[in-house]
Amino acid sequence: MKTCLTAVLLLLTLTHFSEGFLCYEQNPGESWTITVCTNSCYSTGVKLLGIEGKKTGCADQKYPEICQAASFIGIGEHACFCNGILCNASSFPTVYMPLLLIPLLQKLLA
């Protein structure tokens, strides 16, 4: 019981303090993968007349969290940097990882 609780607390600590630990990586027209990253994650994309292209991955350095977007007559683009676990997905929900462990903690402590 103590070992399991210690492991859960260690996992919570690691997921809370890791920045850009895991990023989605995807090139236009390819399926996404998950990559271990030590810097920020990024997401860039463009939309032209309803056709979208997107690229995600690990940035070359640590950036502040920022997202900029622009659109003009059917053309839109965005560029974003983030510093969280799997934070660079636009089509996948970003979930605060420690919240996923609440049911496990409830079972252990009950």
- Give the pLDDT score at 85: 86
Whole-angstrom distance, CA of residue 107 vs CA of residue 21: 28
Among 13-22, 27-36, 93-102, which stretch is predicted with the lowest mean pLDDT? 93-102
Are 78 and 43 in contact by the 8 Å Cβ rule? The answer is yes
**pLDDT band at residue 19 under the 50/70/90 scheme:** very low
Structure tokens at 27: 């090139």
In the chain the domains, ranked by start, together with CATH numbers, are: 19-94 (2.10.60.10)
- Give the pLDDT score at 6: 56
Q: Is the pLDDT of residue 98 over 80?
A: no
Give whichever of 2-11, 37-46, 81-90 has the largest mean pLDDT.
Answer: 37-46
Q: What is the mean pLDDT of the chain?
A: 75
**% of the chain beyond a pLDDT of 70:** 66
- Give the pLDDT score at 95: 44
Whole-angstrom distance, CA of residue 60 vs CA of residue 42: 10
pTM for the whole structure:
0.59
Taking residues 22-39, what's their average pLDDT?
Answer: 87
